[in-house]
Amino acid sequence: MPQGVSGRFFAGRELVDRLARHSPARLAVTVFAAVISLFTLLLMAPWATTSGKSAPLIDALFTATSAVCVTGLVVVPTGTYWSTYGQVVILVGIKIGGLGVMTLASILGMAVSRRIGLTQKLLTASETKTTRLGEVGSLVRVVIITSTSIELLIALLLLPRFIVLEETFGEAAWHGLFYGISAFNNAGFIPTAEGLTPYVGDWMLLMPIIIGVFIGSLGFPVILNIMRNRRRASKWNLHTKLTLTTSAVLVVVAVVLFAAFEWTNAKTLGPLSLNEKILASLFAGVMPRSAGFSTIDINGMHESSWLITDALMFVGGGSASTAGGIKVTTLAVMLLAIVSEARGDRDLEAFGRRIPRETLRLAVAVSFIGATAVLVASLLLLEITGWTLDVILFETISAFATVGLSTGVTADLPTAGKYVLVVLMFIGRTGTMTLAAALALRDRRRVIRYPEERPIIG
């Protein structure tokens, strides 16, 4: 490598290392903003659309943000509006965005860990035994290999089914790969015009997607911890146990409630056979994790089902995963705090471990900031569109939690409304992990403390 080039390379690496240690929030925001800008330019090329005309800036920006933030909300149909080149750009954006979430979250975890002196490194750092930011390269390689292997496995499982559906081998391979990457990264983009609706009862097609979405929503720290201790569940760490337990409970509750509310709805489950109803309920129960795929008409669901979906989307998936939301461990910690308070216990405990009170403070802060972002965006969209609150709330939570489910009104948003969702998707993707890192880095010891006095609560 020439001396000048190598000098700039090491200078850049030193800058990234410094940002990761001292300003992790700025690093995450800058990287994601730069990647989104690049993919916006790529999608604005005339050959990115099937019409051969350049896409409008807002449509290209919205699609690029949705892809890189692995959301799945669209203002134009992916399968018909974008050319093969455009769809490849979107798929690469999803892949980079999904990897970026896991690796950046891991780097932020290491930065926080190093700064506040924890003995167990946060997120994936604790599992890979990485103790220095200089070892991030090996961490990134593990993330890439693991995620790519799972995506290819999903694609291989889908390939025979697409061939049976009378697709050519090339089409089947492309659709399998697209769905594999989109599913694992919880993106929700679909490469065909008809989507998954015609296959509402197809177990061979939908089960690999369901499994891919669920695994992707667990997070890289959980996946790696399970892989390292696949024969010794007792060795799983607290984060893994909390994530798996809370995720499983949420899925079961979601499936049961969705089936109960929609079983006789003529616009959703009503006309389906028993086999199709069961699969559709399972699919609808898993997708609010942050995936955004659907096999039924979301707009035809009862408002009670919308409300349940809103709650599930807001919670999202696991930390350092491709899913969005406030994360399942955040919910778990707050529920444990409620149980602890009801019992009169001084400590938060789970699976034989004590959870620090600082973790509860962080969970409350993340939840409140998320709710505030949804509230502000909802107020803006109510003023911009004049639509009803139930529709607006569904769209804003879906954008914040990077889910991608929609009642079908996203494309009808005025330009100002689209920009609001662009900002919300960006905040939802970068906000929670950078906020967690920023707040943890601000942990400080005070020599002088004020006298304690409790206000009346409740």
Q: Residue 54 contacts by C-beta under 8 Å, 6 or more apart in sequence?
A: 44, 45, 46, 48
Residue 347: how many CB atoms within 10 A of its CB? 11
In order of 4, 13, 17, 31, the CA distances from 7 in angstroms are 5, 10, 15, 21
262: alpha, beta or left? (left if phi > 0; alpha if psi -120 to 50): alpha
What does the block give as tokens for 319? 């930390």
CA distance 328 to 289: 10
Cα 230 versus chain centre, distance? 25
Q: Beta strand pairing status for 353-355 and 348-350?
A: antiparallel
Residue 354 covered by a domain: yes
Burial of 240 (0-12, 13-18, 19+ CB in 10 A): buried
Residue 7 covered by a domain: no
Residue 11 covered by a domain: no
Residue 234: per-residue pLDDT: 84
Angle (deg, nearest 10), helices 220-228 and 203-218: 100
Residue 172 covered by a domain: yes
What does the block give as tokens for 252? 């079961």
70: alpha, beta or left? (left if phi > 0; alpha if psi -120 to 50): left
Q: Find where tokens 């949420």 sit.
A: 250
Domain count, the chain: 1
- Identify which of 31, 30, 33, 28 has the alpha carbon closest to the alpha carbon of residue 111: 28
Residue 10 covered by a domain: no
Cα 426 versus chain centre, distance? 11
Residue 112 covered by a domain: yes
CA distance 100 to 455: 43
What DSSP string runs through 228-294?
HTTT-GGG--HHHHHHHHHHHHHHHHHHHHHHHHHTT-TTTTTTS-HHHHHHHHHHHHHGGGTT---
CA distance 5 to 327: 41
Instruction: With residue 103 as reference, give the H or E element that holds it.
Output: helix 84-116
Amino acid at 317: G
* Residues 320 and 105 sit within 8 Å (Cβ to Cβ): yes
- Identify which of 176, 65, 150 has the alpha carbon closest to the alpha carbon of residue 418: 65
Residue 9 covered by a domain: no
CA distance 316 to 16: 29
What does the block give as tokens for 148? 């790519």
What is the number of alpha carbons within 13 Å of residue 191 lying toward its C-beta? 24
What does the block give as tokens for 357? 């009170």
Amino acid at 303: E
Mean pLDDT in runs of 10 for the chain (458 residues)?
Answer: 50 53 63 90 96 95 94 92 95 87 56 42 38 50 84 95 88 94 93 88 95 91 85 88 95 96 95 95 93 92 95 91 89 94 88 89 89 95 94 96 93 95 90 59 62 75
Residue 449 covered by a domain: no
Q: Which residues pair with 353 in a beta bridge?
A: 350
CA distance 29 to 96: 15
Residue 230: per-residue pLDDT: 81
CA distance 367 to 439: 13
CA distance 312 to 288: 6
Residue 446: per-residue pLDDT: 61
CA distance 313 to 398: 6
CA distance 203 to 157: 12
Helices then strands, each counted (H, E), the chain = 17, 2
Residue 109: per-residue pLDDT: 53
Residue 244: per-residue pLDDT: 95
Q: Find where tokens 């969705």 sit.
A: 258
In order of 214, 252, 368, 407, 442, the CA distances from 394 in angstroms are 21, 21, 18, 8, 34
What does the block give as tokens for 254? 């979601």
Give residue 274's domain range: 16-441
